[in-house]
Structure formats: structure tokens, C-alpha cells
Structure 1
Amino acid sequence: MDKIVHNLPVEANSNQFWGAVRIYTEKPHIVNRRLCGIANLWIGVCHDEYSRSSLIAHMNNVMKVRQRDQVNARDHNGEEKQVDNDSESLDWKEQVQTLKRILIKEGFTSAADNLVECEEEVSGCAGEDKGKEHLSNVSEATVGNRSIPWQKLAEVKDLKVAIIRKVLPRQFKRYSCLLEVVVIDGEMLQVNFFPEKTGGTQSISPRIHYSFLFTNNEISLTAIKGTEEEIGDSDPNIMWLQQNVLPKLAKWASEVQEDGNVEDRGSLKLVDVQEYNNLYQKLKIKYGQPLVEIWPEVTDPTKFVFEDVAIATYLILLWQQEREKKGQTEYQTFADLGCGNGLLVYILTKEGYKGIGIDLKKRNIWNMFPEDVNLKEGIVEPSDKNLFPEFDWLIGNHSDELTPWLPVIAAKSKFTTRFFVIPCCAHDFDCKYRRKTANKSQYSEYLDYVKVIGDVCGFEIWQDKLRIPSTKRVCLIGQERTYTESEMPRIFKTIEEFIRIRNEANANSLINQGSNGKLDTILQGENLESELWSNNFKAREAVQPVRNCTKLDQTVKEDLISTVVAILMEKKHLVEVSSSESNILMWDRGGSIVLGDLAKRISTQLSALKNECGGLQTFLRNHKHIFSTLKGEVSLQVPSPALMGKVPKNRIKTKQCWFHSNHAQGCPLPSTLCVYAHGQEDLQDIQAS
């Protein structure tokens, strides 16, 4: 029944193959960007032979019922309705129970040793236990998801594992959740995927039955043919699997450890993935797009708005779990220290959580928030005068110099105060954080340091990775204490001693480097008489200097642009540019050069950028209407009429076309097709209209 479509050689053993299969099975969203993740609904194991053909035939009958239900989910105009995933729970429950009975009939029994069994109710929502046992004495944990016994697959060669799972889409507007059965055959070294087929509607995953087989140091992609279908090599599902999944499996198999152990670097381990996706989509519709449309700041709204929507989603689910665990109904309160634009405070407040946001500088968008959104302009300095006993949670969302102080402030505020922090820029108590070892990245080392601070402050530290558009997306959570309330004086002394020793070490380090700064006073203990917990703590200035190359002298900018263009135009590279529907021009875009080589050639001019963040690369990206920087190479942009349909109307003709005035051939586009102004008259006429 199998048709081998393609295979790739791989230097790996069977354990490494299972490691690669584990990554794809548990995290298909790494390869398939349409997915949010998966939710395991039931897991069964089998040691005997089973009839795969019989299993497929029975499953196909169940899937047909599901397919008919989907076809009927249309309105009276024949248009497909948006599926409410919550309303499908009854259908999902019936189908899961039917598939479960089919698998049990084929010899699979519940993997009771590996999951929390839920015999009486298997619903469409993953993780009915929802982590109610919760995170006791763990630093990292997976909540609300049933576990596949990967270790037993490596140890017991005849083991077969069947998983009934729900495949979760990122976008509910375009896709609906799908049911899928995965059968892992330890004896055959094969993993089989039997996804629900969705007819003519858009799918979030391949619509065919397929498998991956490991034999003779090769991984083969096979199409599993049923009784009613023939799968051709040009089938788009097969082509997608061959081009995207198979190479990834081969790569992963060669990289994981020989025992097949896979380091768990997954995201959203402390909350239920399906609940997260459901809530995120709702909050995204409710707050995301409306905020993007009215965004008054100069920053990118698509990053900051949806990032804060995602953080709010995570916190709401985390706090919901906490209330369920403690049997409470009253919503938690919070203080966001270093709240920035205040979006997180706004979303949490509108969702029923009372709190406050404090930042050094008021933002323009603060004026647009309702009066019940409590935002305050001020400095939070680490001292006994800046404690927050009236709030349940302290939040540090990329809080920079306050990051190491969050656990300390939480510990000293009240015995029940908890904290949530997303470390970003590495700061110590009184200065920039200094790396201690080259074995780790500074970010990884700094995360470990903040964990140490949390441990000293008496917190049980949990770590998770958020799904936000930021390279710094690991969060640390201090929710449970490791001591009793009566031991608070002892913990306070431990914290103060830790800070003192740390500050002395920083001071000695600077002295050894020849510094005669204020840190010298720490050695004499003068800070102990100060109101501040550290004499040398310095908050950021309310107005930060702009160092993104935009404030350079205009003459310096023009000289740099001319120099870079001259270097690129040393080589001739003609490209075709459509100046109209019937006219194509050959236009010289010049050559390209690696960024590092370019920097060497203009080293004497780079001194003007020495105090700018990002340097030459930032400068070139600020002039993206002239230069293209792609994969470390610099070249000239090619003017394109397609930009007219992508640039907002209020930004068309607001800047002069550099090529029109400076390129030897001018701009290859006529003025009517170029988003930039061809001369002063073109600029003025458009603005006046």
C-alpha cells in the first residue's frame, strides 16, 4: 500500500531517527507556519501486530463523516462559515471516541503509565487536566498535553504507539482545527500520519496519508495509498512534504544525540497551547488591528501591538491556572514596572485585571487610553520606598536595568507577591552585566544569573518561551516561595548580603580596569546608609539620545551614500525593469558587495558612525529606497511599479527619488509609476492634492 516517493541518505542510527520524528511530531509548526501546534487527545500502545489496512479503512469511514459535516458548514449563500471551535466540541468528542474504539479493537491500549487518562470525557479541548496538579518543584514543565513515550520506543523494539490529536491553526478565520491519527511503529522504524481530509477547503496540513521510514541509513517519504485514491508524484501535498519536511528530518537526525535525546526548547510549556491560540486570536481581533490603525508612535505597530497581545494572552492563562489551583475567583492585580507604551496594562485592564503601569516617560498613546487604564510617569528605584504590597504580581516586560531587581522588589513587597519578567538587555544591580564565561551566549548566561537572583530571593523559578516577535522571548516566573512567611527576615538578610557582595565584585572589576567612578564608594559601605539598596543604581534618562544614524549631519550622509554607490557601480549589471505594460528598459543596478568588505573599503568614513547603534548596516537600512541589504550583501534597489500598491497613499511622493536625480540613467520608471517624487514640482503637486 506504500509508494516510496523520495528518500534522503542520513548518517544516523535508529535512536536519532526517533529524535527527528519527535521534533516533527511534537512541533510541526516549526515546518508548517500555518500551525499553532498540536494537542494530544489520547495515546495508546501496542506490542502485537495490527492490521494497518483495516485501521485505515475504518478511519476513512470516520473521516468521511467529518468531511460531510464540514461540507454542510456553509450558509444559505453557499459561502463557508467561520468555524467556532468551541461549538465543535460535541462532534470532536464523538469522533475521538469512535477512533479510540477502532484503535483499541486493533490492539492498542491506553498508555496509562505515560499520561493522565481521561476515560469519561475526551473533548475537543486538549489537556482536560489543564495542569491542575501544576508545577510543583519544577523549573520547567509541560502543562495540559499528553506525553508520547519516546524513551520506551528506543528501549522496546516491538512497541507501537497511536496518537489521536488535534491540529491547531494559527488563523481561525482561514482554517479550522483538524483531527489526525499518528501511528509510530517501533518495529518497522516508521511513523504514519493519517490526517483528516478536508475536501476542497483550504487545509492547514497535507491532505493525504503519508509516512516516514528509516532503513539502511536512509529516510524515505512514502505515500500510503487507500482503496479509493491514487497519489501521483506531482501531488502538491507530496511535493510539499518532499521539499519541506523530509530534508528537515534528515538534518535533525544527523544533529541530535546518538541516544536520540532531544533538548526541549519548545515554547508555551506552562500553558495549554490550544487555550492560548483560542484566546490569542480573540484578543488579536479585539485589540490588535484597532490599535495598529490608530498607532501614534514612530515605532512599528505590527511588532509592539501583537507582541503585547501575546504577552497578555500568556499572563491571563497563567493567572487563570493560578486561580483554579487555589480555588479563587477574584482576578489578580498587577504592577507593570517599565511599562513603555502601556499596551499590556491597557489590555489586561480591559480584560478585568486591575493594575498600574509605571514608566520614565509618558508616551503619545497614553492619551488615547480610557481613564480606567492607570498609567503613571515616574522612576522606580530599588528601595524600601518603592515596594508594591497592594499588588499580586510584578511585571517586567523588557525592563532593562530593573530586571535583576524584580525578584528583590517582589520578595520584599509581600510574602505573596509574585513576579513575571522577560529579560532583555543585560543589567546587573548597579552596572551593565559582565560576562563570566565564553561557553554560553551573554543572553543565556544572563538568564541563568536572573534565575540565581530569584533563587536567592526564595522563589521557585519557572522558565518558558513566549511566541512573540522578539529575539529575547524567554520569560522567568517566580510564583511559589521556597520558605515560610516566618523566615522572611532571614531571606532579607541573605538578599542584602548577595547584593553587597555582587556590587563589591563589580566595583573591584572597574577599579582593576582603571575606573575612578562612583563605584569606589561601595567598597567603603556608604550605600548601606542610603535609601537605595544600591548607591550606584542609575535609571535611564527619560529622553534617550537618538543613535540610529538618523541624526547624522546631512553632508556626512550624502558623502557616505555617494561613496557606497560609486563602489557598487564599479561593476555593470543590467536588469530588466517594466516601465509600462509594453515597455521594458535595461537598467544598470551595479554590482554587489559583502557588508564586511564594504566596511573595509570605507573604513576612514566609518568614524562618523562610531557612536551610532548598528553602524553601517543600520545606515544602509535607513536608506532602503536606495540600498538593498540581503543576507549580508549590499546592492542597489531596483525601482519597481509594484510598490505603488503596497505603500499607503499618504506616503506616496513624500520623498525625492534618489535615482531620478543621481543615477547615470535616472529612474527607469515614469513619474506616474514611481512612489517617489521626480523633482520638486512632482513633490509639491502631490502634497497639495
Structure 2
Amino acid sequence: MGKPNGSVHKDGFQSIVGEPSIMGPQWVGMYTTDPASPAAFTREDFEAAMMHVIREPNINSTAILRADILYEDQFELVDGEPKLASSHTEEFELGDADATYINVDEVTPRATALPDALNLYTKCAIVRRMLPRNPYKDAVLNQTCLVLNGCDPADSETSAIIYHPHLDESDSCPFYIPHVKQVAILFHKGTVSVHYIPFDSMRANDNELLRDESQRVVRTAYRLLQTAFKHSRGVKAGYEKKVNHDVVVDKVRFQNRYISLKKKHSKFLVDNWAESTDPKKHVFEDISIAAFLIELWIKVYGEDFRSRMQFRDLGCGNGVLVHILASEGVKGYGIDARHRKSWAIFPQETRACLREQVIIPSILLRPHPDMKQQYPQLEHNGRLFPVKVAHEYIAPATIVYASEDLLKSPQVNIAEFPKDTFVIGNHSDELTCWIPLLGCPFMVIPCCSHNLAGQRTRFNVRKSKESNGGSAASNSSYAGLVDHVEDIAEQLGWRVEKEMLRIPSTRNAAVISYENPLMGSFPTPKAYEVLQAEGGAENWIQNTMALMRGHPRSH
């Protein structure tokens, strides 16, 4: 049964089930913070925190994707009476017809039980549409959210948040919200407390279920109190978000696209996973990236983007991202130095979009522009690249590759892509810093830090970035790599945008650019300068050729 009523938990929270609720007789008090230790934040702090949670309900539950705010009224007291100050409504598309919906046409606030014992008025009335991560399993639901304030000056520090789901019966209550009629989170006299109006079936047993702390509905009340208390203290302390999402692509469009792609592709990919890695992490991560890319391309190229661009996924690995994009009708292909087991699970249409090649950017093989101007017939720079090899059956030897031969080799991709190409670098390791040099619009998601020679290295965040709001704490190896990719791109004339992607990875920074006045003129003189400043990419070709499948050095 868990802790008895009135017991104190390790964080000082107390169960108050069985005690008369300050909200009135129809309410059941669940938990409260310690009344003997008043909170060190104000009503304004509490309301700021709770308004953020109302707009971002995924803070309380990982089963919730987001909330769309359909209706919002703001009121203010005039001569002791609440008067409407502003009103706003917005329409959102419902999405897939196969999803489950409950009362989604009810877009005005439901009549809600205000506390009897407290003299409160409605300061803000919101109707939000709750979208679960799996709308084919958990229903999409509208919910009234009220922010109540005290009418009397003596209650100026009192505030209540009430959640009222638009439900007609208890059996239809979705998993992701508490299984009760209404929820209240009250800030009063320095304490925060959570209260429920139970369904009638709970009241039938004298709320016995609500006394059992092993029950999910009770644990949820505890978490709601934790969230309200923690976030209110964070507002008081001046907490600011370290990461801003949805800067480049609209969140609603991205998430709707994600739901659609997940429905179409996740089961096949997870059920047929051929690698030793966790399928769910990789599959859902690549579905998220595909959703982001498609919405980015719609933004950049328009709804008809499929006829206006094609992609190249450099270092495509397991090929999942290529499969999803190709299945969605996007032209393009992926390139990787090694064939992966996963490639065999894909249909022929996808396998035709996967190429086993090493990538050697043509800037390393073509003549310098100055040389080309003097000798226009030259197609290669005449360089030779010795690569030492070893094998258990032969003595150590050296293979010499000529730039002329590498330009013609079917096993080598020199990254000279059509002008309508968009380049993807999804955790592309050694290729990461190269991608801005290729002259195509791109999105890079950096992962492991390598220089242009393919060697592991560490880059520091530029001093200008640190002094412009950065800190020493942000100068991690990953932050340095992301900043270095931005730096290379900006030197080459790219207008860079950055997005922290909603993917299950700590390596989630995307460096994006699709605007450059010099596009079509690569490699530019600046590209050669950057290449020289980065160390000349010495040994890139030798390191890259060692990755070839037929080479004695196996992987």
C-alpha cells in the first residue's frame, strides 16, 4: 500500500489523502509540500512555470508529443469583477484519419469545478489538444486548462491550475493523463499541493485506490507536484533553457511528419533489423531526421521539392535514412565505404540507391585552378599516393594510387554532384568537416571529431563564440567540432543555421545551409585557402583507400 497518509517522503512531500481538501468536498487532496517550510518562490514564479508546462506537457510525460493551443482567453479584475482582456483561437489539422480521437471538436473550455473554500477567479482559460507520441494507440484529446487567482488582496499569492480533460466517461481516459475527472495544482500560503476529482467508481470504495501509492494514478500526482515545485524554483532562480529547438523547421509540421513516417516505416525496419545495434534507437532517430529533412526541403524548395532536388547521404551506414527518403519518393542515394548487413533487408528500389564507394573530394585530385588556366587540357593534378599494406600471406608492400586512376575508379566517388544536390552528413565521422567544401546545400550532424586528413582531433570553440554568450563549460569536444564545421562553412560563404534536432542522441546538433552566393563556383579560391589552413588534408587519400572492401585490411 506504500506510505501511510500524512507520512513524509524524502523530499519533504506529504500524502494528504483522507484529509479534507482545501479545494472543497468534491476534491481529494493527494500530496503537499511541507507546510512548515514555505516555498522560496512567488505566485508569479509558480504561474510562469505552470504556463510553460501547459504549453509543453511532454515535460510531465514522455508519452505526450506536444499540445496545440486551440483557444486562450485572458481575464483581468476590474472593480473586483473578471473582465475579458484578450481572446485567441487557432486551428490545427487533425492529422491521420486512422488515429484515435476523443471530443476534438469541443474547442471551448468545459465548465469546471472551482474551489468552494477559496475565493478565486479565472485569470486564464486555455483549451489545448493533447497529441500522444502514438496516436494510433492513445487517443488525441482536448483538455481545458484554467489558471485561477485570488480575488481578495489577502489571497494575492494564491494560484490554482486546473486540468479538465474533455471526457464523457472514465473508460475513455487515455493512458498519458491521470485517470481522474479533474486535476488541480494549488499554490497557497507558501505550499504547493495536488488535488483530484475522482471518477465515481473511485469514490465508491471511499477512494481506497487513491491511498495506494503503488497505483499509477497516485504516482502521477506525486510527479505532478515534483514538476510544479522544481520548475517554480527554476523560474525563481532565473533558469534559462540551454537548448532551443524548432529554430529552422516548425515543430508542428516536423512532428506531424514524424508520426506519419513512423506509422509507415518503423515496424518493417525494427522487425527486420540485421545489425547488432539497438534497432529502436537507430530506426526512430533516422525517422526523426527524415521528417526534419522533408520539412526543411519543403521550406527551401517548396511542396514540389521532389522534382527540384536530389540528395546524397555521405557515410550512409545502415542505409535506413536512404530507405525512408527513397520510399517517400525523394531522388538520391547513399554512399558508404562498406556494405552493411542491413542493406540486404531493403527492397530492390532502396538497394539501387546504396553505393559501396569511398569518397575522395575532387579538390584533392583535380589540378589547381591556376594550373588549369595555363593547361586547360589537364584533368588531374598528377599526384601519386603511396599506401602501405600488410597481409598474413604476403610480405608488407606499398600500393601507389595515381590521381588520374582515382578519378576514373568505380570504387571512388569524387563528390562532384549535380547542381540540384543536397548533401546529408548524418554522423558521418571523417567526412563531417569536408561537407561544406563540396559546394552543395547541406545538413551535417557532427559526431566524432576528425580533421580534413581523417585523423581524430579536438577543436576548440572560437573565442568570439565564447565571448558572445558562451562559457568554458560549453567548450566540450563536441561543441568544438560543431563550431568548427560552422566556421569552415562561414569562411566559404555559406549562411549557416543551426538546429538542435529532436532525436534520441546527445549528438543532435545540425549545421545547415542552403544559401551561398558562390554556389556553382566550387571549388573556390577560398576553398583552397581553407584546405591549406586546415593542414592540406595530407594522408586523406591514403586513409580513405585503406577502407576499401577489397583491401587486405579487413573491417
TM-score, reference length from structure 1: 0.53
Residue 396 of structure 1: CA displacement? 0.6
Distance 1:302 1:164 in 2: 34
Distance 1:311 1:224 in 2: 41
Length, aligned pairs only:
422
Residue 43 of structure 1: CA displacement? 2.9
Q: Does the alignment pair 1:300 with 2:273? A: no
Q: Which moved more, 1:36-45 or 1:3-12?
A: 3-12
> Residue 35 of structure 1 aligns with which residue?
64
> Residue 220 of structure 1 aligns with which residue?
193
Q: What CA deviation, in whole Å up to 9, does each residue of 1:69-124 have, x standing for no partner? A: xxxxxxxxxxxxxx98547999977422x449x99xxxxxxxxxxxxxxxxxxxxx
Asked if the contact 2:128/2:142 (under 8 Å) is kept, the reply is yes
Asked if the contact 1:355/1:391 (under 8 Å) is kept, the reply is no
SS at match of 2:30: strand
Residue 349 of structure 1: CA displacement? 0.7
Asked if the contact 1:331/1:353 (under 8 Å) is kept, the reply is no
User: Of the candidates 435, 442, 459, which is equivalent to residue 494 of structure 2?
Assistant: 459
> Residue 334 of structure 1 aligns with which residue?
311
Distance 2:130 2:52 in 1: 15
> Residue 405 of structure 1 aligns with which residue?
434
> Residue 420 of structure 1 aligns with which residue?
443
Q: What CA deviation, in whole Å up to 9, does each residue of 1:34-63 have, x standing for no partner? A: 21121222333222379999x9xxxxxxxx
Residue 388 of structure 1: CA displacement? 1.9
> Residue 460 of structure 2 aligns with which residue?
436
Q: Unaligned stretches of 5+ in structure 1?
A: 56-82, 104-157, 504-521, 528-533, 545-550, 552-689
Q: What CA deviation, in whole Å up to 9, does each residue of 1:630-674 have, x standing for no partner? A: xxxxxxxxxxxxxxxxxxxxxxxxxxxxxxxxxxxxxxxxxxxxx
> Residue 164 of structure 1 aligns with which residue?
127
> Residue 386 of structure 1 aligns with which residue?
415
TM-score, reference length from structure 2: 0.65
Residue 182 of structure 1: CA displacement? 2.0
Distance 2:200 2:276 in 1: 59
> Residue 369 of structure 2 aligns with which residue?
none
> Residue 70 of structure 1 aligns with which residue?
none
Asked if the contact 2:148/2:160 (under 8 Å) is kept, the reply is yes
Distance 1:388 1:394 in 2: 9
Q: Does the alignment pair 1:251 with 2:246? A: no
Q: What CA deviation, in whole Å up to 9, does each residue of 1:103-150 have, x standing for no partner? A: 9xxxxxxxxxxxxxxxxxxxxxxxxxxxxxxxxxxxxxxxxxxxxxxx
Asked if the contact 1:35/1:168 (under 8 Å) is kept, the reply is yes
The structure in which a higher percent of residues are strand is: 2
> Residue 140 of structure 2 aligns with which residue?
177
Distance 1:32 1:399 in 2: 32
Distance 2:236 2:318 in 1: 44
Residue 270 of structure 1: CA displacement? 4.3
Residue 485 of structure 1: CA displacement? 6.2
Distance 1:456 1:42, change over 3 A: farther
Structure 1 residue identity aligned to 2:449: A
Distance 1:196 1:50 in 2: 33
Asked if the contact 1:39/1:273 (under 8 Å) is kept, the reply is no
Residue 264 of structure 1: CA displacement? 5.8
Distance 1:457 1:185 in 2: 54
> Residue 44 of structure 1 aligns with which residue?
73
The structure in which a higher percent of residues are helix is: 1
Q: What CA deviation, in whole Å up to 9, does each residue of 1:183-203 have, x standing for no partner? A: 334664433322222520343
> Residue 469 of structure 1 aligns with which residue?
504
Residue 331 of structure 1: CA displacement? 5.6
User: Of the candidates 539, 544, 547, which is equivalent to residue 542 of structure 1?
Assistant: 547
Q: What CA deviation, in whole Å up to 9, does each residue of 1:248-302 have, x standing for no partner? A: 222233334634x531636555445454444434433432222333333333333
Asked if the contact 1:223/1:238 (under 8 Å) is kept, the reply is no
> Residue 208 of structure 1 aligns with which residue?
181
> Residue 359 of structure 1 aligns with which residue?
336
Distance 2:508 2:271 in 1: 25
Distance 2:342 2:279 in 1: 11
Structure 1 residue identity aligned to 2:136: K
Q: Does the alignment pair 1:24 with 2:53? A: yes
Distance 2:532 2:423 in 1: 23
Distance 1:424 1:452 in 2: 16
> Residue 497 of structure 1 aligns with which residue?
529
User: Of the candidates 31, 34, 45, which is equivalent to residue 6 of structure 1?
Assistant: 31
Alignment of 1:477-556 (within 5 A): 477-481=512-516, 483=517, 492-501=524-533, 503=534, 522=535, 527=536, 534-537=537-540, 539=543, 541-542=546-547
Distance 1:224 1:289, change over 3 A: closer
Q: What CA deviation, in whole Å up to 9, does each residue of 1:370-400 have, x standing for no partner? A: 3433111112233434232344311011001
Q: Does the alignment pair 1:194 with 2:167? A: no
Let me know the Cα RMSD of the aligned residues.
4.2
Distance 1:227 1:208, change over 3 A: closer
> Residue 322 of structure 2 aligns with which residue?
345
Structure 2 residue identity aligned to 1:26: R
Asked if the contact 2:104/2:129 (under 8 Å) is kept, the reply is no
Structure 2 residue identity aligned to 1:497: E
Structure 2 residue identity aligned to 1:403: T
Residue 246 of structure 1: CA displacement? 1.1
Distance 1:90 1:51 in 2: 40
Distance 1:449 1:13 in 2: 43
Distance 1:185 1:165, change over 3 A: same
> Residue 243 of structure 2 aligns with which residue?
265
Asked if the contact 1:335/1:391 (under 8 Å) is kept, the reply is no
> Residue 515 of structure 1 aligns with which residue?
none
Asked if the contact 2:102/2:140 (under 8 Å) is kept, the reply is no
Distance 2:198 2:268 in 1: 47
User: Of the candidates 421, 425, 432, which is equivalent to residue 396 of structure 1?
Assistant: 425
Asked if the contact 2:55/2:69 (under 8 Å) is kept, the reply is no
Residue 29 of structure 1: CA displacement? 1.8
Asked if the contact 1:5/1:233 (under 8 Å) is kept, the reply is no
Asked if the contact 1:212/1:222 (under 8 Å) is kept, the reply is yes
Residue 238 of structure 1: CA displacement? 5.5
Distance 1:170 1:234 in 2: 28
Q: What CA deviation, in whole Å up to 9, does each residue of 1:491-519 have, x standing for no partner? A: 94445434433x2xxxxxxxxxxxxxxxx
Distance 1:498 1:233, change over 3 A: farther
SS at match of 1:460: coil
Asked if the contact 2:270/2:280 (under 8 Å) is kept, the reply is yes
Alignment of 1:69-218 (within 5 A): 85-86=96-97, 94-96=105-107, 98-99=108-109, 160-185=123-148, 188-197=158-167, 199-201=170-172, 202-206=174-178, 207-218=180-191
